A and B are shown apart, each in its own frame.
Chain A
Amino acid sequence: MSYVLAAWIIVFATVLIYAGATMLRGRRLARQVPPERRRWM
């Protein structure tokens, strides 16, 4: 079971860290771009 837990923890932790880092990067970059050039819709 330790191999199973290791695999699941690695996958979930990596995805969460990557998703968090992507969101933080987006927030940081959004501050550098004028508001009229960062509309998604």
Chain B
Amino acid sequence: MTDTAVTTTGSAAAPTGTGSMGTRVIGLAALVGAVFLVLLGLVWSPEDITQRELVRIMYVHVPSATIAYLCCFLTTIGSVMFLWKRSVWWDTVAYAAAEIGAVFMALACVTGAIWARPTWGTFWVWDDARLVTSAMLFLLLVGYLALRKVPGDPDVRAKRSAWLGLLLVPNVILVRQSVEWWRTLHQKATIQPTQLGAEMDGLMLFSLFCGFVVGTLVFAWLVIHRFRVAWLEREADESMLADAIAERRAEAIDSGTGGDPFGPRTGEAFG
């Protein structure tokens, strides 16, 4: 199946979807990487001394949370750029990244809860700073998406969303630092920039690294596709509006109002 239609003259026409050569390459690399990650994470890597088999959940949980943070960074950057430059392109980037961020934040919370059940004896606790700030970040992303759906002037909507988008990065910092600032049930970061992987077995660390690589490829693929979908949504709306105005104008000409869609204006009507 191809994403590009070919005209009868043989030249490539506009794409019929959101795919391109670049996204196909990234998608293929992500698929190959995902197969390798499954083998590495579920078969080849050893179990942990204390966590046993449950350590394997970390290979999808930690990359999911990292992708969500990356999306939050992208949304905040997009929001800043929109407020600064009033650029539709950056507003679309922010919107696309926020939706993907919400999906991966939900995955991080769900996989974390699955890990917590056999480890802590419960899926969720409300007095843990990491868990509560993560839930807050997810709700903030959902709120951002809800704001994008509010009907009204697109520019006003984009401006309001951008102000909300500015709150995402401070929230990510809060989530990241919560285990340092408060005493929590959730453990501190295993990988510290100063002592990279010193507490992890080599193959476990490699599995986690592969999780990050595959996650980054999936993130890139999704952001490009979702950006194009958002762009097409905007174009479809504008195209529909242009058609409606043209139709209304044609009706006005037919009814003899001289092309004015609002009809004849008389002195009486306007006082």
Contact = CB atoms under 8 A, between A and B. Distances in A.
Interface of A: 1, 3-4, 6-8, 10-12, 14-15, 18-19, 22-23, 25-27, 29-41
Contacts of A18: 103, 222
Contacts of B103: 14-15, 18
B interface SS class: helix
Contacts, number: 103
Identify which of B60, B110, B221 gathers the most chain A CB atoms within 10 Å of its CB. B60
A31 B20 CA distance: 16
Identify which of B34, B41, B232 gathers the most chain A CB atoms within 10 Å of its CB. B232
B45 to A, nearest CB: 12
7 contacts: A7-B110, A7-B111, A19-B222, A22-B222, A29-B229, A30-B18, A34-B239
A23 B19 contact: yes
Interface of B: 13-20, 34, 38, 41-42, 53-54, 56-57, 60-61, 64, 103, 106-107, 110-111, 114-115, 117-118, 218, 221-222, 225-226, 228-229, 232-233, 235-236, 239-240
Contacts of B54: 3-4
A38 B107 contact: no
A4 B224 CA distance: 30
A33 to B, nearest CB: 4
Given A4-B54, A4-B56, A7-B61, 9 more contacts: A3-B54, A10-B114, A23-B17, A23-B225, A26-B17, A36-B14, A37-B235, A37-B239, A40-B18
Given A4-B42, A8-B38, A10-B110, A33 B56 contact: no
Given A32-B236, A33-B235, A37-B239, A27 B17 contact: yes
Given A25-B229, A33-B236, A10 B118 contact: no
Contacts of A14: 103, 106-107
A26 B229 contact: yes
A8 B42 contact: yes
Contacts of B16: 27, 30-31
Contacts of B34: 12
A26 B18 CA distance: 5
A4 B226 contact: no
B115 A11 contact: no
Shortest beta-carbon contacts, A-B, top 6? A26-B18, A35-B14, A29-B232, A32-B236, A27-B17, A11-B60
Contacts of B240: 32
Given A18-B103, A37-B239, A26 B111 contact: no
A4 B55 CA distance: 8
